[in-house]
Amino acid sequence: MVSRSLGKLTGAYIGGSLTKLEPKIKNNLGLGLLPQAGVAIGLASLASTTFPEMGPRILNLIMASVFVYELVGPVISKRMLIRVGEAQEN
């Protein structure tokens, strides 16, 4: 979970730097990538069938991560949108 988050945050920052995005967008873009549950669930399903001996462990780990991200994802996304000026606090 930590590696996935760091990868998304770092990748978005580096990509934003290479494409010369505005600093406020470059610094917050990775936060918008965190709550992507559908892809994670699909990959967990594929991994659990590809590696049946470890399938339940893989599925449980990924589903727990998805659960955490889906709880904090909307809050993080809202903060990111406010920081870059695309939404207002209410």
- How crowded is residue 35: how many other Cβ atoms within 10 Å of its Cβ? 17
Contacts of 32 (CB under 8 A, 6+ apart): 12, 77, 80, 81
**What integer pLDDT is reported at residue 51 of this predicted model?**
92
Mean pLDDT by 10 residues, the chain (90 residues): 82 91 85 76 89 91 86 84 84
CB 37 within 8 A of CB 59: no
**What integer pLDDT is reported at residue 25 of this predicted model?**
86
**What integer pLDDT is reported at residue 30 of this predicted model?**
82
